[in-house]
Amino acid sequence: MAMDFFEHQQQARRRTGLLVTLFVAAVLAIIAVTYLAVAGILTTIQHQQSMMRDAISDRPVTPEFGSPMLLAAVGCSVVAVVLCGSLYKLAQLRDGGHVIADALGARLITPDSTDPHEQQLHNVVEEMAIASGMPVPPVYVMDDERGINAFAAGYLPGDAIVCVTHACMTRLTRDELQGVIAHEFSHILNGDMQTNIRLMGVIHGILIIGLIGMALLRSLRHVRVGGRGKDKGGGGILIAMLAIGVALLVIGYVGVFFANLIKAAVSRQREFLADASAVQFTRNPAGIAGALNKIDHSGKGAMIDHPHAAEASHMFFGEALMVGWFGLTATHPPIKARIHRIDPDGLYVQTERARKPERTGSAGNGLAGALRAVSVSDGPPANDVDGASRKAVAHASGSFGQHELPGAVAHASGSSCMRSAMEEVGQVSAEHIGQAAALVASMPAAVRQAAHEPYGAMAVVFGLLLSPVAEVRRKQLDALKQTVESGVYALTFRLVSAMPQRQTPACLALLEMAAGSLRNLTSKQYQAFRAAVLTLIHADDKVELFEWMLQRLVVTQLDRLFLRGPTVSRLRLGLQAPAMTSAASVMLSMTAYAGTTQTAAARSAFDAGNARLVPVKLDLLPLEQCRLPNLDQAMASLEQLTLEGKKKLLSALAATIAADRQVTAMEAELFRGIAAGLDCPVPLMLSGQTLI
């Protein structure tokens, strides 16, 4: 089942539009209920005041229900309160996914953990991240939760986190855990995370009136009213405050109802899509089907007990809360419906009690038999560092949700029809995951271990930046010794000989591992690291293409976290906009000159890419205008490009690189680096794969 990254991103934006529409409807409903409550309270107070007079007027009390001024005042007040509540929550969540993980009591696990379950979990996440071409996200575990569940949170792939419950980490087999993690990565790659965080802000705004009412009622418990003199009117004030508090609480329940409806409307259907993506990514329907089956037959299911679970219930892999209103407010489809879409013939799932090991030599042997067998064993291997690399990537492939899926195996991991890198943007396959595991396993243990912790990750990046030219390297080491701590310098010196060669897949995989660890630096440590990186890059008074790409993949991504914070929204411009056209000209010209030193060949390559941008027409810039500082400025501008513009530009870049029918390793990694800078992660390049 082909999944288009850009289409999914567009669908996520449409869901944001739906979210705004539902938010407006909920606010209007709250305004209506609030108006009725306020009008009723004012009418009651007026009636009580008239009854307390010595001479009761014969003039009846006029109800407030028809007052335009009152309606306007109530409407403005509700809108102001709801917007303030939403903006306050979004400000709290500005730092991304780790804020949500902390709020849910999750614990960050370290890659060097000796716990076999934690080691297995981190390896699965790491393989998926490297395979998909994004930095390895921090991994959290909710130690006190016995329900099987997980979630991913963040704004962009570069600041995502992945969190699982203790039961998810310990009760699932490796294949089942991989299916769950693949489901969460589909939310990362499909643009769902940003919608999820916006939804949290919207929900908080809708609920804020009820929270105010609850706080008011709690404050009244400490109020004492006197019975003499000027305090005689205190009882009326107390009654009025009590009435207001109850009214706000009732309005709050209206908000809760609408909040749950909004979460269900925005979240439910995309879970089917994420399940489909998990099957596509792993080519192993038994993995995610087995995980869902364990949830279905577990006493605890996917339930989350944390008091803040309601705020994030729409983010989880499974239904985190009890569902009322006849399933109307469920944020996820029923488990059985999800299993049936993955496994309509019931070949991959059995009840927990009925599970028995497959007998060797049975008719189920071969690839399909192996698929069923992997779901039988429970618990991780004693040492999972190379677990996935030892396993052949031999999962069945087929159409998701079709009856032919669980039947005879169509292909092994080597797909008979190799998709182009352009088609693989934002996608992952079993081949990519297997290659990622093999790359990690091939790294020297010292390098791999260093990349898994912040100080070591700094040394890894420094080591990759050291020039092969002896004179330049000596200058770089002298500068490094003056700018970083002695321990980091010593580790860099020790690791240099074990570093993979530049412009290789292993080098990029190592950078993605290190980038995840560098997120755990303090702000002060990052500033020092950033300065050292720039010093090493400019030590020879020039910036090579590899150095520029490393800076884009590591420094630029981390700048979002440490310096500017995640970008929530910005004005989007099409390729026709002058700023975008100018930036695209720099990008395409630079790419054309990267593969050749001959102007005629560069012109031919440029024209091949330019043809993909119709009706936009770009001009090839002179070579002297194609310097890396210009490329940096172009990349900064292109962050505002629309999704359709990004798709066209990447297609043009791929056509430019492939114009001479030769794609070097450097050109392939340049394409991946530019795509990552545009928040369009490209998976690892497979042997024989083309760009277009």
Question: Which residues form the catalytic set?
Answer: 184
Count the neighbouring beta carbons within 10 Å of the beta carbon of residue 516: 28
Amino acid at 520: N
Question: How far apart (Å, rounded) are the C-alpha atoms in residues 640 and 575?
Answer: 10
Would strands 150-153 and 139-142 be described as parallel, antiparallel, or unpaired?
unpaired
Residue with tokens 């969540």: 93
What is the Rg, in whole angstroms, of the alpha carbon atoms belonging to the chain? 29
Phi and psi (nearest 5°) for 417? -120, 100
Question: How far apart (Å, rounded) are the C-alpha atoms in residues 600 and 603?
Answer: 5
Helix (H), strand (E), coil (C) string for 170-193: HHCCHHHHHHHHHHHHHHHHCCHH
Count the neighbouring beta carbons within 10 Å of the beta carbon of residue 99: 16
Count the neighbouring beta carbons within 10 Å of the beta carbon of residue 390: 11
Helices (H), 391-485: 430-442, 445-451, 454-465, 470-483
Phi and psi (nearest 5°) for 414? -75, 95
Helices (H), 220-325: 234-282, 285-296
Burial of 486 (0-12, 13-18, 19+ CB in 10 A): exposed
Count the neighbouring beta carbons within 10 Å of the beta carbon of residue 353: 7
Determine the 3-state secondary structure of 202 from DSSP.
Answer: helix
Q: Are 392 and 431 in contact (CB under 8 A)?
A: no
Burial of 416 (0-12, 13-18, 19+ CB in 10 A): exposed
Determine the 3-state secondary structure of 518 from DSSP.
Answer: helix
Give DSSP secondary structure letters for 76-111: HHHHHHHHHHHHHHHHHTTT-HHHHHHHTT-EEPPT
Q: Are 248 and 82 in contact (CB under 8 A)?
A: no
Q: What is the DSSP secondary structure assignment for residue 161, as one 8-state letter? A: E
